[in-house]
Amino acid sequence: MHRFALALVLAALIAGPARAQDPNYDASRNSKAPMAPSVSFSDAPIWQRIPGTTVSTLGPEQKKEYDLFGLYNEFFLFNDGYWYKAKLVNGPWNALGPDEVPAEFHMVPASYWVHYPKGWDESAAVKNAGADTVWTPPAAFKTVPAWRQIPGSSRVYWIDAATRPVYDLFRTSSKYYTYQNGIWYTSGKVNGPYTIMVDSKLPSVIKGVKAKYWVNYPKSWASP
């Protein structure tokens, strides 16, 4: 009896990880994604940065029948509604679930896609098109700023009035956020550099900061 129970446990341990390690298994769809298309080039691929993003794409002469992008020294492929990621441009490719797709791709306008993902909203990408992908404060803080919690906020901080900059700069528990010309940027250091980000990734606690604590309160947040 004990041997039978032990055998069942061992079988479960062996079978479970085997499925989880399958690179083409898409748990979000509870099915296996098809194999990614084969990627090859007759000449070395030439990448170009998409304006307003940290995403790179291929020039028109090297475009494929599927979408292929570069981001943070990794490659992403979108084909027939499925996403894949690889360390090398020719694979091997691992399938991604919808929640694993980097938010940066939502900032790529439809004009840069072969097949724009169904259900995506292009408005944020159009707004960010042409914006600087990196923002650096005009003057670096030479000492640690005196941060104060903003009244009525949930752990959102701004700099004490004596050294407060003339632009919007907020701190949460571990990151810094600045709002420049309608675009949000974030950094792990107060002096940056700050990288562009999508609005959907902004902590909800910052959206709770009342307008009187802003230099330029986002117009889209204002009550009608």
Residue 224 confidence (pLDDT): 55
pLDDT along the chain (224 residues), means of 10: 41 35 39 87 89 86 92 95 95 92 88 90 73 84 93 93 91 93 90 87 92 90 70
3-class SS of residue 134: strand
User: What does R_g of the chain's alpha carbons equal in angstroms?
Assistant: 23
Residue 90 confidence (pLDDT): 92
**What pTM was estimated for this model as a whole?**
0.52
What are the structure tokens assigned to 133, written together?
A: 């992908």
Residue 31 confidence (pLDDT): 52
Residue 183 confidence (pLDDT): 85
Phi, psi of 187 (to 5 degrees): -155, 160
Residue 73 confidence (pLDDT): 92
